[in-house]
Structure 1
Amino acid sequence: MIKVHHLEQSRSHRVLWMLEELGLDYELVCYKRDPDTWLAPPALRQVHPLGKSPVLQDGDLVLAESGAILDYLADRYDGQRLLSPEPMPAQAPERVRYRYWLHYAEGSAMPPLLMALVFGRVRSAPMPFFAKPIAKGIVDKVMKTFIGPQLRLHLGWMERELGEHPWFAGERFSAADIQMSFPVQAAAARAANMADYPKLQDFLRRVGERQAYQRAEARGGVLTMVGGKQ
């Protein structure tokens, strides 16, 4: 049976959601974050050397990285192509879009969101009183000149694309939308005024209404985007 090593409030929610969409049975092994550091527990290193989540075990296979896991599940178990494009030439537009968004989520969308989170923690971190104005000044400068513009650039790009198609890969829901859900949720929770992005708001509403999404939350916990690094 498939086994998912699932860290609370993390990217691994997407793997549970994918499995629920495909109707697959799986065993769930849950891990709690450190309440002070919000990091994953050392026990995850016994599963994968990096000690990160998600990790999928399927027979002898041990696979990390959410995008790689969703891609594997689509290739291995999505015989009816419910969540992935039909076999077609590599240059077919639907397949190109599908692959792009599957990789874009972590490769381009998440880095500025993670930087916003890290710099936000620096602003509120305990430090000598005389250092606080310096730290705040550095954080505000970086947010204003780099992180903020990058976030607006990426969110504007996603918004425009959802104005062209109802889903990220095209006309139908796919694993690319599952993968993209996390950065959009992170932006909505931490980094952006989503009133400026009605298409992204509608995307979050629609994915939250999917029964498979709700089943994943029932098993793995509601994703609230609180705490530290995901």
Structure 2
Amino acid sequence: MSPRIPLPPPPPPAEIQNWPDREARLADRAVALDALGRRLLGGGRLALFLGCFLMLQLGWGMVGVLLTSLGGAILDPIALFIGLVVAAFGLGVLVPAVWLTARSVRQDRIVRERLVRWAVLDRHGPTDARLRAPALSVTWMLLSAAMCGIGLWMGFAVPAGTSRKAGGIGLDDGSGLVAYGMGVALVFWINGLIGLTKAVSHYRLALRVTGPVTRRQDPRSASSAPPRPE
């Protein structure tokens, strides 16, 4: 979410709403919902999500250079020094990536709250259909499910493969490689869960707030209606 483009403001309270007619209210509602929907599932938001994921993997990969150098049977001072330098740069990438991911999750919550407030103002078929965004929801869902699957597979495959290769040879038990591999799996798993939760919750929320409305009878019209014959 770019700070240069502010979020649409929330709708005014009911007591000060002054739209001249329903068409004006629907027009403002459509503009706000379209903007908020793009902030949640649009192409820019997907690019930011993937960018943060790649930054996390890059930063952790640079830290992994140090981890793998520490897991060797013979500790090489030169390799250790190189690992420390690379790990320092890796932390410089990893920390901002973690901050951006946490910030995006917080901002998604704000966007979702405003989206609900605009959605419950009224109902409009074309606008509500765009809000559901089934194609974007499926894209997020498939991509995030693939991340979760890769992370789950790596969580089992890396320790098993490393233990078979190490075979208890001296001090080279592959612990550094296991730590690095589990970190990679965790990045896949956490980002996959974030994206999957976003896609499913948005689609369910859109169905709930744009569902059919039960019409209520106006009490004034009910009182003015002629009595039914006995």
Same-fold call, TM cutoff 0.5:
no
Q: Tell me the TM-score normalized by structure 1.
A: 0.34
Q: Highest CA radius of gyration, 1 or 2?
A: 2
Q: Tell me the TM-score normalized by structure 2.
A: 0.34
* Richer in strand (by share): 1
